[in-house]
Amino acid sequence: MLPAGVIGAVGFKPDWLARVASAAGAVADRPAAEVAADETYWREIQQAFTLDRTITNLNNGYTCPSPRVVHEALKRYLDISNQAPIHYMWNLLEPNVETVRRKLAAEAGCDPEELAITRNASEALQIAQLGMDLQAGDEVVTTDQDYGRMLDTWDQRVRRDKIKVTKIAFPVPTTNLSDLAHRIEQAITPRTKVIHFCHITNLTVFIDGAHAYAHFPFTRDELGADYYGTSLHKWLLAPVGTGFLYVRRENIEKLWPLTPATAAKSKDIRKFEEIGTHPAANHNAIAEALAFHQAIGTERKAARLRYLSDRWIAQVDKHPRVKILSSRLPNQAWGLANVSLEGVDV
């Protein structure tokens, strides 16, 4: 049983999830694109956050702030754990990671037994990158636009295992997806074992989805990936230090974990979670973040993100020193845009 004092205190806090759900109910019959510009609705959502409004934050992509309901859950779980970690954290809180796993998998459209809880997208992807059996001479195809940490991981395998990594260059912003696909296909050879972005038959596919989950609507089946890693402290608004790794079921046994697990777990997705002592609070509070996200609705959230990015881009893209490096095509643009400012190293 959880401490009565903790449970009682929670009862007097504002029910932010109920307020967000109520606001969503009031606009349920309106198109998401219309609600995106409804500042009255979004003001209610804003009230669920504690923000420093003395600064203008232009980088929510690194890690997003969590709503109060998530932050309060995180603190509550830490308070409970701290009373007697060996009992409250390990015996009472830690088993609830299975509920989080099921909820995340349902949202992603995959089997819970294919989803490992990690601390971020980098850890998730490195489990796959470093855990796959590759021999000297095997080839990996990626792009020079991929995240530096993931490119560093492949480069380490080049030094350690003598594999070959081909990094495709392409113009930005990318508007011609057929051209990009052609560049990738041209780089594939009989020794290619891995491509690090999208699906091609008979090759192992890694997708860096750090910014995708809870940012715009999609499902696992639409990706066709063998491995997919994401951070949940970005657009799901979960606590900092949360993410997940999707591994296609038939690949679990073939993939070595980043930190060792027993042979008995060789087919168990949980072998990728063997990181030693860790707080249960972080991953348990993911459940509140997911509930908050679902109360808003993926379609409404994605439409709002696109509306906001379109709004600021329209005000700067005609400036002679500004170049927008991200495509603004509807199926490629949501809440993120990369900007180059002439004469400024950003």
User: What is the tens place of the pLDDT at every residue in 133-153?
Assistant: 999 999 999 999 899 999 999
Sign of torsion, CA 116 122 125 127?
Answer: negative
Above pLDDT 90, what percent of the chain?
69
In the chain, the domains with their CATH numbers are: 100-289 (3.40.640.10)
Q: Tell me which residue of 100, 105, 297, 335 sits closest to 220, measured CA to CA.
A: 105
Measured between alpha carbons, how far is 216 from 332 in angstroms, rounded to an integer?
10
pLDDT at site 10: 37
Pairing of strands 339-341, 322-324: antiparallel
The structure's pTM equals 0.90
The stretch 31-46 carries a mean pLDDT of 95
Looking at residue 47, its amino acid is Q
pLDDT at site 9: 35
Which ranges constitute the DSSP H helices of the chain?
4-10, 16-26, 32-35, 39-46, 68-83, 85-87, 97-108, 121-131, 148-161, 177-187, 220-223, 280-284, 286-296, 298-316
Structural tokens at position 134: 């590759």
Measured between alpha carbons, how far is 125 from 231 in angstroms, rounded to an integer?
10
Q: Is the pLDDT score of 189 beyond 60?
A: yes
Measured between alpha carbons, how far is 207 from 305 in angstroms, rounded to an integer?
22
More confident call, 193 vs 300 = 300
At residue 286's C-alpha, the angle toward residues 285 and 292, to 5°, is 100
Measured between alpha carbons, how far is 37 from 110 in angstroms, rounded to an integer?
32
**Total residues found in the chain within this entry:** 346
Q: Is the pLDDT score of 306 beyond 70?
A: yes
Mean per-residue pLDDT of the chain:
90
- What residues have CB less than 8 Å from 86, skipping those under 6 apart? none
Q: Is the pLDDT score of 172 beyond 80?
A: yes
Q: Is 329 exposed, middle or buried (0-12, 13-18, 19+ CB in 10 A)?
A: exposed
Whether 48 and 16 have beta carbons less than 8 Å apart is answered as: yes
CA atoms within 13 Å, Cβ hemisphere of 335: 25
